[in-house]
Structure 1
Amino acid sequence: MKKILNFSMLYACMVCVLWPEFALAQTEMPITVNSEEALEAYHEALQTEWDGKRTQSQEKLEMALDLDPDFFMAYLFGAMRAKNMGDMETFEEMAGKGIDLKDNLNEDEKHLCAGLELILNDKAGEASPHFEVVAATYPQDYDAVAYHAFQLYMAKEHDQSNKYFAKLLEINPERTAVYNMMGYNYMFAEQFEKAEASFDKYIETNPDHPNPYDSKGDYFMAVKDFANAVEMFNKAYEMDKENYEFSKKKADQARKMMEGN
């Protein structure tokens, strides 16, 4: 009995000493992956996507999946990214491959997988509990919270989505691309003054990047200010002709609307 008591006391002391490390470990959602290089590429894909570097993000995503073809979180990101861009063929492909891995995932990933399957079946609203439980379990994990914010965005729960995007700003105030998504949420909810303020904040914090100007162009299209839309789209294109060819096409469309064609 004495030995058990001493071991228990020793264990208690170890827990007290190591508790900060245990607590730190619990701030991030565990990820099932077979390659450290794949995990690094996945994180770089997420970062470059937030930075509006879509080509680089796609390259890093492909790298992650080449290094580990059974990387569920990479498929989840690829699926959400494709759906947000309106690329439904890629969305369905990525979602299907991710869902096929559901028997080999940890409990948190299984929630996200179940939510992804609902989104695939046009039930984005019903996916909320699955994404919410992960975000609630890891409230300081930027990506866990971000996936729930995007799921709510896809479910057209604009106010709720913006609450989670606001949480992202609390976690990391330097990732100001969040203002972009908040702007779109406000725009789709027809809260145009708040939308404009969010897009302006995005421009203010990222003045040298083309994406904020492309987004402000979308705002001007929504309020039928076609002349300013043309200006914004052209500005985005001129800043990065290689990656923002689509902005030039938007400018042409806005010009036609302005001319009444």
Structure 2
Amino acid sequence: MKTLIALFALLFGYITTIVAQDFYLPVSSKSKPAIAALHRASELYANVHFKDAKSELDKALAEDPNFFMAHVYAVQYGSKADRPALIEKTLALDTKKLTKAEQIMRDFIVNWQKDPNYKPVEDMKALVAAYPKTPQALEWASLHSFYTNKDADAGLDYAQKLAKLSPKYAPNYNTLGYMYVQKKDMENAKAALEKYVELAPNEPNAYDSLAEFYMTNKDYAKSAEYYDKAAAMGLPDAKERADKARAMMK
């Protein structure tokens, strides 16, 4: 029985690794602990756990200080004030063994260094063209299209493709929800944010996003209800937002 359990654990670990590799863009680092920490950071960032995500990112860089893709994360999620130094550090790394994904992201960062307002439209097209079946390529393309390029239409197109490719990837429905809200498609926005809650019932951000949707649509009772759920799960400031929604009901 112990042998069977050990074999099952080994097989499960192998399958988990394959699934993770299938989701994430390929990296040049050979450090398994560094890669695992970066994957944890990615998941935490996607669900808006920024402090915990930064901690995992720091672990990844401690395991492999030359981990190029981890530096890419640091640049993308770093503050505007810190970004120039982070970019300089990233571009100083050796480029000989970079994967195609890392090279595309490096080209983007080079342009970002030249112009802080640079919009990576072509870079994201190149990333998706190189990795059309890799969910993370579509995720980054949707996020940069929406938040960096301010192009909700392109972002929506990438996010919809991601939903088809990886239908159980919960954070994508959060992005979809906000893009639909911007396009004033409230029916699809509500459906997307409800799907986020369905797929990630233990994520306070899912309830916070749905609460914000109801606040935008002036359903203050529902907004307070979902903010309360987010607050009960420990989301900072959710209690204050719930109280604000209740005040709007009067």
**Band the TM-score falls in, shorter-chain normalisation:** 0.7 to 0.9
Post-superposition CA distance 1:163-191 (Å, at most 9, x none)? 21222223322212211110011122332
**Partners of 1:123 and 1:112 in 2: CA distance:** 16
1:18 is aligned to none
Aligned mate of 1:231, from 225, 230, 233: 225
Post-superposition CA distance 1:88-145 (Å, at most 9, x none)? 34555544433443755444323212223445634353x1111211211111222222
Verify the 8 A CA contact 2:204 2:229 in the aligned structure 1: yes
Structure 1 counterpart of 2:70, which letter?
A
Whether 1:192 and 2:186 are equivalent positions in the alignment is: yes
Verify the 8 A CA contact 1:38 1:68 in the aligned structure 2: yes
Query: Structure 1 stretch 101-110 or stretch 145-154: which is displaced more?
Result: 101-110
Aligned mate of 2:58, from 62, 66, 86: 62
Aligned mate of 1:42, from 38, 45, 50: 38
**Partners of 1:51 and 1:221 in 2: CA distance:** 20
Q: TM-score, normalised by structure 2?
A: 0.75
Question: 1:51: how far off?
Answer: 5.0
1:98 is aligned to 90
**Partners of 2:211 and 2:65 in 1: CA distance:** 38
Structure 1 counterpart of 2:67, which letter?
F
Structure 1 counterpart of 2:140, which letter?
Y
- Identity rate, percent: 26
Question: 1:64: how far off?
Answer: 0.4
Query: Aligned in 2, Cα 1:225/1:80: closer, same or farther, shift over 3 Å?
Result: farther
2:76 is aligned to 80
Query: Aligned in 2, Cα 1:89/1:223: closer, same or farther, shift over 3 Å?
Result: farther
Question: 1:248: how far off?
Answer: 2.6
Structure 1 counterpart of 2:129, which letter?
A
Query: Aligned in 2, Cα 1:233/1:99: closer, same or farther, shift over 3 Å?
Result: farther
Query: Aligned in 2, Cα 1:255/1:167: closer, same or farther, shift over 3 Å?
Result: same
**Partners of 2:219 and 2:83 in 1: CA distance:** 32
Query: Structure 1 stretch 36-45 or stretch 93-102: which is displaced more?
Result: 93-102
Aligned mate of 1:204, from 198, 209, 212: 198
Verify the 8 A CA contact 2:220 2:246 in the aligned structure 1: yes
Aligned mate of 1:140, from 129, 133, 136: 133
Structure 2 counterpart of 1:166, which letter?
Q
Verify the 8 A CA contact 1:26 1:138 in the aligned structure 2: no
Aligned residue runs from structure 1 range 117-196, under 5 A? 117-119=110-112, 121-125=115-119, 127-154=120-147, 155-196=149-190
The Cα RMSD (Å) is: 3.1
**Partners of 2:85 and 2:219 in 1: CA distance:** 37
Local SS of the residue matching 1:245: coil
**Partners of 2:193 and 2:228 in 1: CA distance:** 17
Local SS of the residue matching 2:203: coil
**Partners of 2:238 and 2:118 in 1: CA distance:** 29
Q: Which runs of 5+ in 2 are unaligned?
A: 1-20
**Partners of 1:252 and 1:140 in 2: CA distance:** 44
**Partners of 1:137 and 1:111 in 2: CA distance:** 9
Structure 1 counterpart of 2:35, which letter?
L
Query: Aligned in 2, Cα 1:255/1:91: closer, same or farther, shift over 3 Å?
Result: farther
Query: Aligned in 2, Cα 1:259/1:204: closer, same or farther, shift over 3 Å?
Result: closer
Q: Which runs of 5+ in 1 are unaligned?
A: 1-24
**Partners of 1:236 and 1:118 in 2: CA distance:** 38
**Partners of 2:46 and 2:163 in 1: CA distance:** 13
**Partners of 1:195 and 1:124 in 2: CA distance:** 29
